[in-house]
Structure 1
Amino acid sequence: MRIGLYPGTFDPITLGHVDIIRRAAILVDRLVIGVAINRDKGPLFDLDERVSMIEEEARKLSAETGTEIVAHPFENLLISCAHDVGAQVIVRGLRAVADFEYEFQMVGMNRSLDSSVETVFLMADANHQAIASKLVKEIARLGGDVTKFVSPTVKQALLAKFA
C-alpha cells in the first residue's frame, strides 16, 4: 500500500490545499493529512478545529477519489511523522518559486534523516497560486469576502472567529 503524507498547519485549510489533496489522492492508496502543531505560529484555529475542518473536506474528497484520506496531528519531526504513519512519500504543494527554495532545503534535511522517504512536489493550480492561509485570515479579519479561497464550512468558521 502506497501511503502519502501531506503536512501543513492548515490554519485554515484553503481551496489550494484541497486542490493538492485531490491531486495527491490519485498518487497513493492512503493519504494522511499531517496537521502540524506549531506553537510558534500561534494559529487562529486550535488543533481540534483544524482537524475537524480537514476531516470534513477529507470525507468529500475520499468519496470523490476513492482514496482513504485521514487527518493526523503531529508535533515531532516531519520525517518521524512519516515513519509514524507508514508514509513512503511526502507531498508538498508549491505556489511560487519562493516556496521552492524553502522546500528544497527541507528535502535535503529529510533525505539526510531518511533517504527512503521520497518527497513529491505538486504545483498549485493557476487558480489557487495566490491563496495563502495567512492572507485568507487577513481578508476575513478585515471583513472581505473569502468565498473564492475556502469552502463554505471554513468561511463560516472564519466569520465566527472574527464576529
Structure 2
Amino acid sequence: MTIALYPGSFDPMTNGHLDILVQALNIAERVVVAIGVHPGKVPVFSFEERAALIAAALSEALPEREDSLSVVSFEGLVIDAARQQGATILVRGLRDGTDFDYEMQMASMNRTMAPDLQTVFLPSAAASRPITATLVRQIAAMGGNVGEFVPAVVLRALNEKHKR
C-alpha cells in the first residue's frame, strides 16, 4: 500500500489544503495528514479540532475516500513522522515560485537524511494560490468573511470561534 504523509499546521484547513489532499489521494492509497504541534505556538484550533475539521472537509468533498485518511500529530522531524506512519511519499503543495524555492531546500535536506522517502510537489489550483492559513486567521479574527477560502465546515468553526 502506498502511504503519503502530508505535513503542516492546518490552522485552519483552507481550500488550498483540501485541494492538495484530494490530489494526494489520487497518487496514494492512503494519506496521513500530520499536524505539526509546536509547544511555543498557540493555535486557533486544538489538534483535536483540526483533525476533526480535516476529516469533515474531506468527507464533504470526497466521501468515497474518507476511509483513506488518517490524521496524526507530530513533533520533530517530518522524516521521522513519515517513517512512523510507514509513508514512502512526502506531499508538499506549491502555490508559487517562492514556495518552490523553499520546498526544494527542504526536499533536498530530507532526501539526504531519508533517501527512501520521495517528496512529491503538487501544484495548487489557481483559485487556491493566494490563500494562506495565516491570512485566513487574520481576516477571520478581524471579522472578515473567509467563506471563499475555507471549506464550509471550517467556516462554521471559525465563525463559532469568533462568535459570529
TM-score range, shorter chain: over 0.9
Match of 1:116 in 2: 116
1:13/1:53 contact within 8 Å kept: yes
Letter in structure 1 aligned against 2:47: L
1:11 aligns with 2:11: yes
The answer for unaligned runs of 5 or more in structure 1 is none
SS at match of 1:39: coil
Question: In structure 1, how many angstroms separate the alpha carbons of the residues matched to 2:59 and 2:153?
Answer: 13
Return 37-46 or 9-18, whichever deviates more.
37-46
Q: Identical aligned pairs, as a percentage?
A: 39
Cα deviation for residue 131 of structure 1 reads 0.6
Cα deviation for residue 65 of structure 1 reads 4.4
1:76 aligns with 2:76: yes
1:134 aligns with 2:134: yes
Return 54-63 or 35-44, whichever deviates more.
54-63
> How many pairs align?
163
Where do 1:1-163 residues align within 5 Å? 1-61=1-61, 63-65=63-65, 68-163=68-163
2:58/2:66 contact within 8 Å kept: no
Return 96-105 or 10-19, whichever deviates more.
96-105
Letter in structure 2 aligned against 1:68: S
SS at match of 1:92: strand
Task: Go from structure 1 to structure 2 and tell me whether the alpha carbon gap of 1:62 and 1:3 turns closer, same or farther (over 3 Å shift).
Answer: farther
Q: Deviations over 1:79-124 (max 9, x none)?
A: 0001001000000001111111211111111111110100000110
Q: Over aligned residue pairs, what C-alpha RMSD do you find?
A: 1.5
Task: Go from structure 1 to structure 2 and tell me whether the alpha carbon gap of 1:49 and 1:98 turns closer, same or farther (over 3 Å shift).
Answer: same
1:22/1:65 contact within 8 Å kept: no
SS at match of 2:27: coil
1:58/1:70 contact within 8 Å kept: no
SS at match of 2:99: helix
The answer for unaligned runs of 5 or more in structure 2 is none
1:59/1:69 contact within 8 Å kept: no
